[in-house]
Structure formats: structure tokens, C-alpha cells
Amino acid sequence: MLTTTPMTTTGIFLGTATTISTNHWLMAWIGLETNMLAILMVIAKPKTTRATEATTKYFLMQAIASIMILFSSTTNAWQMGTWDITQLYNKYSSTIMAVALATKLGAAPIHFWLPEVMQGSSLMTALLLSTWQKIAPMTLMYMAAKNMQPVILTTIGLMSMLIGGLGGINQTQLRKTMAYSSINNTGWTLLIMPISPNIAMLNMFIYMNTTIPTFLIMMKSSTKTLRDLTGMWTTSPIFPHMMALLMLSTSGLPPLTGFIPKLMILNELLQQKMVTMATIAALMSLLSLVFYLRITYLSMMLTPPTTSSASMKWRHTNYQPALTSCLIPTALTTLLIAPAIPL
């Protein structure tokens, strides 16, 4: 488990809170920088070569994206006379801003840094990178979505879905697999962002709701590779089953919770007469389903307890983290409330 200093924790939360609560591009940029400087110390904490490499890559990519955000907002203020986030009227500024925020989110084609950074980080840091660190840039994208070019966002979304699905198929490291899963989900979010920003934010929230317990189970069972999945039952007999169901929920299979946003996205695309786009999105979801099913098979259906000679730790100590127990039901069984979601 990762331990951070109070100053680091304050910087992470304060930076994100500043960005999502302001309506001024300069304050939003300051919040992003505060958050970035705090998370850099968290990534570099293990003092290993991989951690140093991950910290350097993360700093360079986030710094480039921050420069693009500052340049885009300054150009828009120069041309339009406003720093308001919701008034990004200059089309060149909006294009640069879309690419910059996509870089912050780890979306394709500037996605290559995310799997390497997550692989070089601890499991808790990887959890922060795939969930909390997406809140601030996604909020900025939500606020400025009406002024961004729909073609650019949908193109980035489709590319992210394709690369996220193909990239995760051949991975044996779970952190890299979850990184490509994050890229794939970001693609779904950006695909629907210019059409219905509310559904895009719902998709991000539900993805975070399924990713957090997945990483918590991996941390509690010390699972980092596909090979480790076959021995997860020795930590707790329920972990393999919950891991499998969480993966199926993340993939978007009914009747699990992850089916809600994908159904809403496809329905909205069909209502907008974008049948071809909806068909492509549905077909691309099959790519990510391949590695989700692979994890499901390895964790739950490959090796029953009687085939392993490992010591059965679960008979002596039962690891049932409270947060995981609270999040798993909402990550699996909230499909019935979908008609009541106000959008």
C-alpha cells in the first residue's frame, strides 16, 4: 500500500479541486500543475529505475500538454477577449485544447506514455493514474465540449477504442492491461462527448466505479501478472469470482453495471442518425472483450483450489477490505436504476 505525505495528498486533491471549481483557464492550468507536481512525488517514491523512468515520462508528457493548454487558452483570450472556459470560440484554440486534454487523458494517438508509466508505478499509483488523474482534464473537456470540433473528438475516440482494444490483447502484466482498458474507455467517453457530455461523464464515473475495486483486489492479493491470477484464491476464495465479474462489467456485458454507459452511448448515436459510427463502436468493443475474458478465464475458471499446492492462507486470515466490499455491489448490480438516471 502506498503511503504519502500530507503535503503530497493535499497537492493532489487541491490541484484537482481547483481545476474543477474554476471558470478561468489560468486557474485551471494552475490546478493542473499543482496536481502534476504532487503526483510526480508519488510515482517516484519507490526509488527504483522503473519508477524514475515512469516519473520522467509522465513529467515530459504532462508538461507538453500543459504548455499546449496554456498556449490555447492564451490565444483564445487574445482573439476573443475572454478567459472563460465555456467560451473557447477560436477554432484553432479549441483544436489545440482538444489534443492537449486528450494527451492529459492518455487518449490515442498520444497514448504511448500511459502503459509505461502505470507499469513502472505501484498498484496504488496506477489506480490514481487511471481514475483520479482523469477527473480534472475530463471536467475541462466537459465544460468546453460545445466549442470543440466534433470530428476531432470522434476521431480521437475511435482511435483510442481501436488501440485500447488491440493493445491489451497481448499483455501479460495486469497494470499494462488496465492501462489499455483505460485508453479504450477514454475512447468511448470522447466519442460521445460532442453529442452528449452528460453521458460521457456518466461513462467515466461508472468506469471509475468498476476500476477502483479491481485495483483494490489486486493490491490485497498481490496480483500483478496473469500468472498471479491463478493463485488469487489462496488470499481469499471470493476474490477470483469478484475479479471475473468486475472484468465482465468493465467490458460492458449485460446485466452488469458497465453495460449502462455503452447502451446509452449507442442509443444516443442511433438517435443522431449515426448508424455507421454506432456499428463501428459496437464492433470495436469486441476487441477489448478478448482480454477481459482472458482475465476472467484465468482468475475463475482455470485452476480450482484442489489443483494447487500453495498454502491456503484464506483459511487462516480473511482479507475483506471494507471499501472493496462497498464498491463491488454498485460496480455490478446497478443496471436496474439506469432508466432513473437524469441526463
Q: What is the pLDDT of residues 40-99, one digit of tens each?
A: 999 999 889 999 999 999 999 999 999 999 999 999 999 998 999 999 999 999 999 999
| Percent of the chain with pLDDT strictly greater than 90 | 67
Position 309 scores a pLDDT of: 52
Residue at 157 is within a domain: yes
Residue at 99 is within a domain: yes
Position 188 scores a pLDDT of: 96
Alpha-carbon gap, residue 169 to 158, rounded angstroms: 17
Position 316 scores a pLDDT of: 44
Position 324 scores a pLDDT of: 64
Residue at 313 is within a domain: no
The three cell numbers locating residue 162: 481501436
Q: Is 124 exposed, middle or buried (0-12, 13-18, 19+ CB in 10 A)?
A: middle
Q: pLDDT band for position 343 (50/70/90)?
A: low
Tell me the pTM: 0.91
Residue at 159 is within a domain: yes
Residue at 2 is within a domain: no
pLDDT tops 90 at residue 270: yes
Residue at 153 is within a domain: yes
Residue at 98 is within a domain: yes
Per the structure, how many domains does the chain have?
1
Residue 287's domain comprises 7-307+319-336
pLDDT tops 50 at residue 315: no
pLDDT tops 60 at residue 311: no
Position 323 scores a pLDDT of: 58
Alpha-carbon gap, residue 253 to 259, rounded angstroms: 5
Q: Is there a contact between 94 and 25 (Cβ–Cβ < 8 Å)?
A: no
User: What SS3 state is found at 314?
Assistant: helix
Structure-derived torsion over alpha carbons of residues 250, 254, 255, 261, reported in degrees to the nearest 10: 60
Nearest to 30 by CA among 59, 3, 81, 66: 66
**β-strand partners of 173:** 225
User: What SS3 state is found at 120?
Assistant: coil
Task: From residue 165, give the alpha-carbon distance in Å to each of 158, 189, 223, 281, 300.
Answer: 11, 15, 22, 11, 22
Alpha-carbon gap, residue 200 to 197, rounded angstroms: 5
Residue at 296 is within a domain: yes
Alpha-carbon gap, residue 234 to 140, rounded angstroms: 43
Position 302 scores a pLDDT of: 61
pLDDT tops 90 at residue 24: yes
